[in-house]
Chains A and B, each alone.
Chain A
C-alpha cells in the first residue's frame, strides 16, 4: 500500500526495523522475543496481584465460575475475530450476530412467548443464520469492495434490527431445559460451556496451524499483494474467514442464550468491545499477519481475570468499560511495529 521511503522520518525507523523483526520472529525459528511473552507475563502478574489482594481469587470456585465460565463466550467470539484481525480486517458485526442468534434460539425452543418447541433445531438454525450473516459480511466486503469495518458496521445494524424486530423489543425466556443445561451441566467440575469453549479453541488452533486456510490467513495479513501474486486465493479465503467468524459468533450466541436463559435487546451490549480488546491485548496485531489463536486465549483470560478482579475488589462495574478502553489503547500502542507502514488510517 505505502512504502516507508516516502517519509523523511522513516529513515531511522527503517534502520531499526531489522533487529526488531528478529525479536518478533515466531518462536519456532529460535529466540522468543520479550514482546511475544508480554501478554503471558501480564496475565501471570495480574493473577499474582489479585491473589495477594484477595485470596479468594484463587479459590477453585472463583476460578471455575468467576474466570473460566465467564471467559467461555468471549473466547469463542475471539476465535472468529482472531482470523479476521490476522488478515488486517475487522468484524464489527459481532453484536448483530449475537442478537440474531439468541433471538432464534429463544423463539424456536420452548419459551414463554409462543408455543414452539423445536429442541435442537433452534441452536442449529441459529448457527446457520449467524454463519450466513458472516458470509454476507465477506461477500459485501470482497465482492462490493467495501472496507471491512464499513461492511460489518452495516451488517451489525442489520442484524441488531432483525433481532430486535423479531423480539418486538421485549425479552423472551428460554424454558427448554436441555438447551439451558449446556450452560450449567457440569462435567469433571467444569460447566459444559467451558468444555465447548475449549473445543472451539482447539478447532481454531487446528485451522490456524494445520490447514492451508490458516496459512493463507497469515499470508494475506502479512502482505496481501504478495500473497495474491504467490497464488493465494485471497478472495475465497477472505469470504471463508468471515463466514467462519459468523459460525463462531453463532456458537457464542447459543451459549449466551443458554447461560442467560433469555434473549433481549441488550444481550449483546459490550461484546464487540470486549472481543476486540481481548484479541488485541493478547498480542495479535491489528495491521494483520502477526499473532494468533493462542495469543487470543491469553488475551481473553487477561480481560476475564481483570473483570473478575474488579468485581472481587468491589470496583464499580461502570469503570470496566473505561478500563477496557485504556487497555486497548495501551495494547495496540505497544504492539504497533513502527517503521513498517507509514500511514495509519
Chain B
C-alpha cells in the first residue's frame, strides 16, 4: 500500500487529471475498434440503435447513480422496471394516459419504501433492495399468474409517443433519456439532494456532523432510483408492446456496470450522472458490438461479470478503505 501511495504521488498530477477521462477514451476506442472490425458499424442507423439501447439502460442507471454515489447499492432496479411494465400494461386500458405518471409514482413509492427499510430499520442496502426485488417480482408474478400482458390497440396508440420518433427521425426514447440526463445533471449540481449525495458518500460521519439530514436524503435517493427504474420499465413496455414479470431481469448487471464503468466508485463519494451517460454508452456498444462480431448472447454475461470486477478494481478509491467486507 505504501509503495502504491508513493507511486501515485510521483505520477500524481497527470494520472489523476486523466483518470476521470479514461471512460471517455475507452468509448472512442471501442467505437473505432468495432468499426474497424465491422465497417458497417459507425453508420447513422446502427448508432441510432446503439443510442436507443443505451437510452433505456441510462434511464435505469440514472437513479442508481445517486444511490451508488452515496455509498449504497440498489439491486431491485430490474425488478422495479419489470413490475412497472406490468402496472402500465394493466393500467393503460383503464385510466389511459394517467397510467404513465401513476406507474412512475408506484416506482417512487417502492423505492422510498426500500430506502426507508434500509435507513430506518438499519438493514444493509443490498439486502433491503434484494428483499424489495423479491417483493416486487412476487407481486408482478401474482398480477396475471406469471403471464405476459400485451398492450392492445388502444394501449399501443397511447404509448406510441414513447416508441415512436420525433424530429428528423430521432427516436423519442433518446429524447426521454436526454431529458432524464439533463434533469439528473441539474439535480446533481444545483440541488441540495445532488450535493449532499456526494457528501454523504465521501464521508458519512462528516456529513452527519455537518448537520446534513443524511437519513432523509438517503431515502430520497432510493426513491429516485425506484422512479427512474419504473420509467425505464414504462419505456420498455411501450417499445415491446407488452409488460412481463421478467421483462428487465437481464438488465441489473448492465445497469450497475454502466454506473461503475462510467467511473462512479462503488465505495461512494465519487461519481456523476455524466459519467453514467458515458458508462451506458460503453455497455451498449460492448453489447451490440459483441452481437455484431458474433459473440454468443449468453457469453456476454461472462464478459460483463469480469468487466464489472475490473472496473470496480480500477475506480475504487483505495485511500478510503479500511476494513473491507
Please report A residues at the B interface, Cβ cutoff 8 Å. Answer: 1-2, 6-7, 87-90, 140-141, 144-151, 153-162, 164-165, 169, 224-225, 273, 276, 280, 286-288, 316, 318-326, 328-329, 332-333, 336, 338, 342-345
Q: Which of B119, B133, B204, B253 contacts A325 (CB 8 A)?
A: B133
B305 near A157: Cβ-Cβ < 8 Å: yes
> A residues within 8 A CB of B139?
322
B296 in complex: contacting residue of A154, A157, A165, A288, CB < 8 Å:
A165
Name the B residues within 8 Å of A1 (CB-CB). 322-323
| Chain A residue at smallest Cβ distance from B125 | A345
A150 contacts B253, CB within 8 Å? no
Q: How far is the CA of A185 from the CA of B313 in the complex (A)?
A: 47
From B204, B299, B313, contact of A343 by CB (8 A)? B204
Interface membership of B124, Cβ < 8 A: yes
> Known contacts A147-B324, A158-B301, A328-B131: does B266 contact A321 (CB below 8 Å)?
no
In the bound complex, how far is the Cα of B300 from the Cα of A310, in angstroms? 37
Min CB–CB distance A189 → chain B (angstroms):
34
Given that A318-B138, A322-B135 are contacting pairs, would A276 and B121 also be in contact in the complex, using a CB cutoff of 8 Å?
no
A344 to B116, CA, bound (A): 12
Q: Are B124 and A161 in contact (CB under 8 A)?
A: no
Residues of A within 8 A of B133 (CB): 325
Given the known inter-chain contacts A158-B301, A318-B146, A343-B204, please indicate yes or no for A329 contacting B124, CB distance below 8 A: no
A155 touches B313 (CB 8 A): no
Total number of A-B contacts with CB less than 8 angstroms? 166
Q: How far is the CB of A95 from chain B (nearest CB, A)?
A: 12
If A150-B312, A158-B301 touch, whether A316 touches B142 (CB-CB below 8 Å) is: yes
Known pairs A145-B316, A147-B324, A154-B306. 11 more at Cβ < 8 A?
Answer: A146-B312, A146-B324, A148-B325, A154-B305, A157-B253, A161-B299, A165-B299, A286-B127, A322-B138, A322-B139, A344-B118
Closest 10 CB pairs of A and B: A322-B138, A325-B134, A161-B301, A157-B305, A161-B302, A318-B141, A158-B305, A154-B309, A164-B298, A325-B135
Does B122 lie at the interface of the complex (its beta carbon under 8 Å from any beta carbon of A)?
yes
Contact with A along B274-306 (1 / 0, CB 8 A): 000000000000000000000010111111111
- Residues from chain A with Cβ under 8 Å of B137 in the complex: 321-322
Contact with A along B105-145 (1 / 0, CB 8 A): 00000000000011101111111101111110111011001
Q: Are A88 and B325 in contact (CB under 8 A)?
A: yes
Residue B208 at the A interface, CB < 8 A?
yes
Please report which residues of chain B, range 239-291, place their CB below 8 angstroms from some CB of chain A when the two chains form the complex. 253, 256, 266-268
Contact between chains at A329 and B121 (CB < 8 Å): yes
